Amino acid sequence: TWTPDAFVETTVTELKRKIGQDKVILGLSGGVDSTVAAILLHKAIGKHLHCIFVNNGLLRKNEFEDVLHQYKDMGLNVKGVDASARFLDALAGESDPEKKRKAIGRVFIEVFDDESHLVEDAKWLAQGTIYPDVIESVSATGGPSATIKSHHNVGGLPDFMKLNVVEPLRMLFKDEVRRVGASMGIDKTLLGRHPFPGPGLAIRILGDITPEKVAILQEVDAIFINGLKEWGLYDKVWQAGAMLLPVNSVGVMGDERTYEKCVALRAVESTDGMTADWVNLPYEFLQKTSNDIINKVKGVNRVVYDISSKPPATIEWE
């Protein structure tokens, strides 16, 4: 029978044998898969594993700093690369969802290629690919590996893609990855994190992206997600987030009429992201969250809750 402990033991032995003294590069995304893959490799080859964690400027509020600290605390050899400006420049004025995804994928590859050139004599590229990624084209798990996979047709292979690929989680399902992570002592809060798409908040800001819109959505998202945690609801939800709609609506503030933005909150139950049901969150929670958002986030005067299931409504709005 399969056990996480036995998997860790055999995989670490196998990785040691396969990689020896070579250097390995791995893109960390903050998600479960890349983190578990990194810790497994770290156990096998220690400092020969060079992790790269890119801030695309589209992460959740404080996520880059928080997750980078967590990685360092776990002993990983990780370099945080803040490329926010490069991503936001490439996205400026673009409102088409697929073109936004392509722009993000392209910049990610450029940044990752630049960074991987700094690791001299690297021989391997490690990826947190899991079994569902192997059989599906769009990964529900997000992260650099998904981004790289869906963009390797962008004019010539970047150098890091010519490296030998090592994918220690390729035979595992998500729940098995979590169990492997837990058996290696990875923090529960990290293992329980909701999936987050590789393009991040870019596909939750409908229409074109500006730094102001990113900042507004980060605040809204933080209030929603922290609220779910405070109310003990976070672990009951498979994925949650907020969408910034390209709609202004009229409101009143004191004696004045306002004309400000609307956000939609979305929380779904799912097992694999292929189908999903909206979650019946308590009215009291929605009421409190809506008030908090409208009172605290300047520029937002209306909050709606998405009660659509997938299919046909996808989890993301773009």
Binding site for ligand XMP (CB under 6 A): 101, 139-140, 142, 146, 195, 197-199, 203, 239, 273, 310, 314-316
Residue 74, Cβ density class (10 Å: 0-12 exposed, 13-18 middle, ≥19 buried): middle
37: Cβ–Cβ under 8 A, 6 or more apart, which residues?
Answer: 26, 126, 127, 128, 167, 168, 169
- Closest CB to ligand XMP among residues 77, 278: 278
Confirm whether residue 34 is marked as ligand binding: yes
Rounded to a whole number of angstroms, the minimum distance from the CB of residue 312 to ligand XMP is: 10
Residue 171, Cβ density class (10 Å: 0-12 exposed, 13-18 middle, ≥19 buried): middle
- Closest CB to ligand XMP among residues 11, 147: 147
- Closest CB to ligand XMP among residues 78, 140: 140
User: Among 141, 63, 200, 313, which residue's Cα sits nearest to residue 305?
Assistant: 313
Place of tokens 């990290």: 190
Confirm whether residue 30 is marked as ligand binding: yes
Rounded to a whole number of angstroms, the minimum distance from the CB of residue 288 to ligand XMP is: 25
Rounded to a whole number of angstroms, the minimum distance from the CB of residue 140 to ligand XMP is: 4
- Closest CB to ligand XMP among residues 64, 108: 108
For the chain, helix, strand, coil in percent to 5 are 45, 20, 35
- Number of residues that this document lists for the chain: 318
Confirm whether residue 129 is marked as ligand binding: no
Rounded to a whole number of angstroms, the minimum distance from the CB of residue 317 to ligand XMP is: 8
The DSSP secondary structure of 14-30, one letter per residue, reads HHHHHHTT-EEEEEE-S
Confirm whether residue 80 is marked as ligand binding: no
The DSSP 8-state label assigned to residue 159 in this structure reads G
Q: Which pair of structure tokens corresponds to residue 31?
A: 């998600």
- Closest CB to ligand XMP among residues 271, 314: 314
- Closest CB to ligand XMP among residues 45, 264: 264
Rounded to a whole number of angstroms, the minimum distance from the CB of residue 79 to ligand XMP is: 22
Rounded to a whole number of angstroms, the minimum distance from the CB of residue 34 to ligand XMP is: 12
The sign of the torsion formed by the CA atoms of 132, 137, 141, 145 equals positive
Confirm whether residue 32 is marked as ligand binding: yes
The DSSP 8-state label assigned to residue 193 in this structure reads P
Binding residues: 29-35
Binding residues for ATP: 29-35
